[in-house]
């Protein structure tokens, strides 16, 4: 006998959308944050604003790893290490150069699973030592772009401009070391490798080793008969439920246009589940600050001050917007 978790009405796009519904009996309240140690509770309750920096994958990777090891890791350092690896990859670098999609050499965008695997077995800064959210709005992004401009100015022989750009970046993110020392790092390394190097120097010997972890991606099933899709969805949502029951976040990759005006792919972590408004709802960390100005209120279920920079979506919206789920097993 197959237990159908979802009441699903399945149809092809030409005839209407797929509708799912998790029954109340299978939607007990789960919230991972109150059950964490004090350090992690503060980390997961503190709003983060990624600004214009496309490092949401690094923020999500930091969430997942931090919960596993019991210490808040630096999302900025995880992202920088990922970008260093990407910059060293000839194929990635060639495609980026061919597309010429950005005027800066700073790498953005990435994948949660790859970011986690990239730092497995490596030493990474703690969040307190290389904070993402302690910077002023756009501070980190502005600082990194300033380092890019400073490096390019050095290559052109414009040392005065390079000094000014680097001095400003140093102030924005409280970089240790003299301007001359920072210039030497940027002169010796490619930009993304240099940024990773500067962050590592900032943390010194306080970095901690990340154990090797098994990470898996699961695609959100979208097609099939009623029975086929119900079975697949039950398995996937069962995996999500199990992680939340163990007080661990779940990484998701989703289409931001489903809940905001941004027509782009986004990433975040699921940290809770609760039944309200006649639906099962999921709590998702908001990497765009402590409010929901960036979101369409008609598309999300709730966004309250007490949620610590998180928003809620119904099971139906979750199904529609998420295309990939990432778990540490």
How far apart are alpha carbons 113 and 106 in whole angstroms?
Answer: 21
Choose among 281, 308, 309, 280: nearest CA to 294: 309
Residues 224 and 201 reside in one and the same domain? no
Q: Which range marks the domain in which residue 122 is found?
A: 53-209
Q: Which of 209, 238, 273 is the last residue of a domain?
A: 209
Considering the domain architecture, whether residues 66 and 192 belong to the same structural domain is answered as: yes
Residue 124 maps to a domain: yes
- Predicted local distance difference test score (pLDDT) of residue 16: 62
Helices (H) and strands (E) in the chain, counts: 11, 9
Which stretch of DSSP H or E encloses residue 272? strand 265-276
CB 75 within 8 A of CB 62: yes
Q: Are residues 164 and 64 in the same domain?
A: yes
Same domain, 172 and 204: yes
Spatial CA neighbour of 272 closest among 290, 284, 261: 284
Half-sphere exposure of 91 (CA within 13 A, CB side): 0
Q: Looking at 209, 228, 250, which one is the last position of a domain?
A: 209
According to the model, what pLDDT value does residue 1 have?
Answer: 29
Two structure tokens written together for 65: 């790893």
Q: Are 58 and 124 in contact (CB under 8 A)?
A: no
User: What is the reported pLDDT for 99?
Assistant: 46
Q: Does 174 share its domain with 74? A: yes
- Domain check: are 176 and 127 in the same one? yes
117 and 255 housed in the same domain: no
Residues 224 and 204 grouped into a single domain = no
Number of domains composing the chain = 2
Burial class (CB in 10 A: 0-12, 13-18, 19+), 268: buried
> Is residue 45 one of the residues assigned to a domain?
no
| Domain co-membership, 79 together with 204 | yes
pLDDT beneath 50: ranges in the chain: 1-4, 8-14, 98-99, 101, 135-137
Same domain, 200 and 66: yes
pTM of the model: 0.90
Predicted pLDDT of residue 172 = 84
Of 187, 209, 231, the residue that ends a domain is 209
Supply the pLDDT for residue 5: 52
Answer yes or no: do 88 and 158 share one domain.
yes
């Amino acid at each position: 006998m197959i237990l159908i978790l979802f009441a699903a009405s399945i149809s092809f796009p030409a005839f209407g959308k797929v509708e799912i519904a998790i029954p109340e009996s299978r939607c007990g309240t789960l919230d991972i944050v109150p059950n964490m140690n004090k350090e992690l509770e503060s980390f997961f309750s503190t709003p983060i604003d990624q600004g214009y920096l496309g490092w949401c994958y690094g923020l999500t990777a930091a969430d997942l790893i931090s919960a596993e090891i019991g210490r808040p890791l630096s999302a900025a350092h995880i992202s920088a290490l990922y970008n260093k690896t990407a910059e060293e990859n000839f194929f990635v670098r060639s495609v980026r150069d061919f597309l010429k999609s950005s005027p800066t050499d700073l790498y953005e965008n990435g994948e949660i699973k790859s970011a986690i695997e990239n730092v497995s077995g490596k030493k990474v800064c703690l969040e307190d030592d290389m904070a993402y959210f302690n910077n002023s709005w756009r501070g980190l992004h502005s600082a990194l772009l300033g380092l890019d401009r400073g490096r390019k100015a050095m290559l052109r022989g414009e040392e005065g401009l390079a000094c000014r750009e680097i001095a400003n970046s140093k102030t924005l993110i409280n970089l240790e070391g003299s301007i001359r020392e920072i210039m030497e790092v940027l002169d010796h390394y490619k930009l993304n490798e240099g940024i990773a190097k500067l962050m590592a120097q900032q943390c010194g010997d306080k970095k901690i080793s990340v154990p090797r972890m098994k990470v898996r991606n699961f695609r959100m099933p979208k097609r099939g008969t009623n029975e086929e899709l119900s079975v697949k969805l039950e398995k996937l949502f069962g995996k999500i439920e199990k992680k939340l029951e163990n007080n661990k976040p779940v990484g998701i990759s989703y289409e931001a246009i489903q809940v905001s005006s941004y027509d782009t792919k986004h990433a975040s972590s699921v940290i809770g589940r609760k039944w309200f408004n006649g639906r099962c709802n999921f709590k998702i960390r908001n990497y765009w600050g402590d409010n929901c100005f960036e979101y369409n209120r008609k598309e999300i279920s709730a966004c309250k001050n007490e949620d610590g920079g998180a928003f809620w979506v119904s099971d139906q919206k979750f199904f529609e917007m998420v295309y990939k789920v990432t778990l540490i097993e």
